[in-house]
């Protein structure tokens, strides 16, 4: 049985000389067991025939928003597919995708699709290198679209360089990896706390900290890609978050609100990841009115906040995994080990702002993972997205034990 057995893949074909390679791509995907449907733009038909694809797929090729006075239901096609793979994706289509321009069936499906989307760009060297193309690709990547790297070599224009459509065999490998990954944590409920908490002093002032929420948000985004259902309990953070049908974001302000939301969901959760920088103290009696300036000093009496990780650690079932973070500036291992034990965690992720470009506020982080069985894993400085993948991989390994 092929690795893509029964997977429903919608292939989008746009105007590029490399559209002929899509014929091989469709065949290879089918050989792996995938069920393939094809949608073509008008200009792609100048390069390769509709009949080729309809014969290969034993199904009509979709290309118009209406056909024979009948409306083609782009929503249905987008819902049918488990993956929408646009290969080749021309510079023109990439630009339309970036700006949400819908002037054909392919872009209408793209805008209404609920499934993951991949693009395999193909164009001439100068178009590829143009700042606007690169910026479009960056935007598409930021909204969660996977970009398949282009090949480098001889181009139809006679020039040589980057811009070639990836080889069909390479695309199929990427698609196979995608389907393996997208099932890794399927059926799992993951809860992630992230960001800072704000503890009110009065209606306009608060005690907070410098956490950006980036690490927790990247964890949530990567976990849904692995098929998990994620509840992200997020303190005040300005970081943008990719939307995804498996991701539920719950906004909170204070530590108490964060704990309340975590407790509500506690029983259905398979894995807790405590990435929030929770304020340890709150103002005992926040003022209901804005505090006015006076000639004398102001004393704030602080009282301890609930410890969310500790509360869950004490009450969690043995089949529930708990993962925490330890941000330390000294005695890294001793401090992390004591938090791991005290809060009954399965492993703790250690990081320190003493490493350049690491921890609070940065897009990169250098972590070590300390398991409760004493194993310590050291990682290099990586983007928070890559760090998130490493952490989720450890969680996956624990689930398999
Ligand atoms: N944590 C939590 N609730 C708190 C404090 C911490 O859930 N009120 C979680 C953090 O999300 C993190 C772990 O506990 O996963 C360790 O947090 P950290 O602030 O490093 O440790 P503390 O126990 O607060 O100790 P200290 O601030 O003294 O280092």
DSSP per residue over 295-341, as a string?
SS-----EEEPP-HHHHHHHH--TTSEEEEEEE-SSSHHHHHHHHHH
Convert the pLDDT of each residue in 170-196 to its tens digit. 999 999 999 988 889 999 999 999 999
Q: Whose CA is nearest to atom 24 of ligand 1?
A: 280
Q: Which atom of ligand 1 is nearest to the CA of 280?
A: 8
Which position has the token pair 């059926």? 187
The predicted pLDDT at position 307 comes to 98
Tell me which H or E stretch contains 271: strand 271-274
Q: Which atom of ligand 1 is nearest to the CA of 342?
A: 23
Ligand 1 pocket: which of 235, 304, 309, 353 to mutate (most atoms <8 Å of CB)? 309
Counting every residue written for the chain, the total comes to 401
Convert the pLDDT of each residue in 200-257 to its tens digit. 999 999 999 999 999 999 999 999 999 999 999 999 999 989 888 899 999 999 999 9
Overall average pLDDT of the 76-104 stretch: 95
DSSP per residue over 207-229, as a string?
E-----SHHHHHHHHHHHHTT-E
Q: Give the residue among 393, 390, 394, 395 at the shortest CA–CA distance from 379.
A: 390
How distant, in Å, are the alpha carbons of 5, 22, 34, 342 from that of 14? Answer: 26, 10, 21, 57
Convert the pLDDT of each residue in 106-123 to its tens digit. 999 999 998 999 999 999
Annotated catalytic residue 335? no
The predicted pLDDT at position 107 comes to 96
Q: Which atom of ligand 1 is nearest to the CA of 349?
A: 15
**Other CB atoms within 10 A of residue 352 CB:** 17
DSSP letter assigned to residue 281: E
Confirm whether 8-181 and 189-399 share one CATH topology. Answer: yes
Distance (angstroms) between ligand 1 centre and the Cα of 375 equals: 21
Distance (angstroms) between ligand 1 centre and the Cα of 397 equals: 24
Cα–Cα dist 340/295, whole Å: 46
Distance (angstroms) between ligand 1 centre and the Cα of 115 equals: 36
- 64, 92, 209, 344: the catalytic one is 209
Q: Whose CA is nearest to atom 19 of ligand 1?
A: 277
Q: Whose CA is nearest to atom 23 of ligand 1?
A: 339
For the segment(s) 189-399, the CATH number from 3.40.50.10300, 3.20.20.140, 1.10.520.20, 3.30.470.20 is: 3.40.50.10300
Q: Whose CA is nearest to atom 14 of ligand 1?
A: 309
Distance (angstroms) between ligand 1 centre and the Cα of 217 equals: 18
Distance (angstroms) between ligand 1 centre and the Cα of 259 equals: 13
Yes or no: say if 319 and 338 are a contact pair by the CB < 8 Å rule: no
Residues ≥6 apart with Cβ < 8 Å to 119: 85, 86, 87, 89, 94, 97, 140, 145, 146, 147, 148
Query: Within 6 Å (CB) of ligand 1, which residues are found?
Result: 193, 255, 274, 276, 278, 280, 305, 307-309, 324-327, 339, 343
What is the CA 225 to chain-centroid distance, rounded?
A: 6
Domain boundaries, the chain: 8-181, 189-399
Ligand 1 pocket: which of 255, 326, 351, 369 to mutate (most atoms <8 Å of CB)? 326
Above 80 in pLDDT, residue 73? no
Distance (angstroms) between ligand 1 centre and the Cα of 347 equals: 14
The predicted pLDDT at position 72 comes to 65
Domain 8-181 has CATH 3.40.50.1950: yes
Q: Whose CA is nearest to atom 21 of ligand 1?
A: 326
pLDDT band at 328 (very low <50, low <70, confident <90, very high): confident
């Amino acid at each position: 049985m092929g690795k893509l057995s029964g997977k429903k893949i919608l292939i989008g074909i746009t105007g590029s000389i490399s559209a002929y390679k899509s014929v091989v791509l469709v065949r290879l995907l089918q050989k792996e067991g995938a069920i393939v449907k094809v949608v073509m733009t008008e200009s792609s038909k100048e390069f390769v025939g509709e009949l080729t694809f309809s014969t290969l797929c034993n199904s009509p090729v979709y290309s118009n928003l209406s056909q024979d006075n009948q409306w083609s239901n782009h929503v249905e096609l987008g819902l049918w597919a488990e993956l929408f793979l646009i290969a080749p994706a021309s510079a023109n289509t990439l630009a339309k995708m970036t700006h949400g321009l819908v002037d054909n069936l392919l872009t209408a499906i793209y805008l209404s699709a609920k499934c993951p989307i991949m693009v395999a760009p193909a164009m001439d060297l100068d178009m590829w290198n143009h700042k606007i193309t690169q910026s479009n690709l960056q935007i598409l990547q930021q909204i969660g679209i996977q970009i398949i790297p282009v090949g480098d070599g001889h181009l139809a224009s006679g020039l040589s360089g980057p811009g070639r459509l990836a080889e069909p065999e390479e695309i199929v490998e990427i698609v196979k990896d995608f389907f393996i990954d997208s099932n890794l944590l399927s059926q799992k409920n993951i809860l992630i706390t992230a960001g800072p908490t704000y503890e009110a002093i009065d209606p306009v002032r608060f005690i907070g900290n410098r956490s950006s929420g980036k690490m927790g948000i990247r964890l949530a985004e990567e976990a849904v890609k692995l098929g998990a259902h994620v509840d992200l309990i997020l303190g005040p953070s300005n970081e943008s978050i990719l939307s995804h049908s498996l991701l539920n974001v719950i906004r909170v302000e204070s530590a108490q609100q964060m704990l309340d939301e975590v407790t509500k969901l506690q029983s259905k959760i398979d894995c807790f990841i405590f990435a929030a920088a929770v304020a340890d103290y709150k103002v005992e009696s926040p003022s209901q009115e804005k505090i006015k300036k006076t000639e004398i000093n102001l004393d704030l009496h602080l009282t301890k906040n609930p410890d969310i990780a500790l509360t869950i650690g004490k009450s969690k079932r043995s089949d529930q995994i708990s993962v925490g973070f330890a941000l330390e500036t000294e005695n890294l291992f001793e401090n992390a080990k004591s938090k791991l034990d005290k809060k009954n965690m399965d492993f703790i992720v250690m990081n320190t702002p003493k490493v350049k470009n690491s921890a609070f506020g940065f897009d990169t982080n250098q972590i070590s993972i300390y398991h409760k069985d004493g194993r310590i894993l050291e990682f290099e400085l990586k983007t928070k997205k890559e760090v998130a993948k490493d952490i989720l991989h450890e969680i996956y390994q624990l689930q398999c034990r």
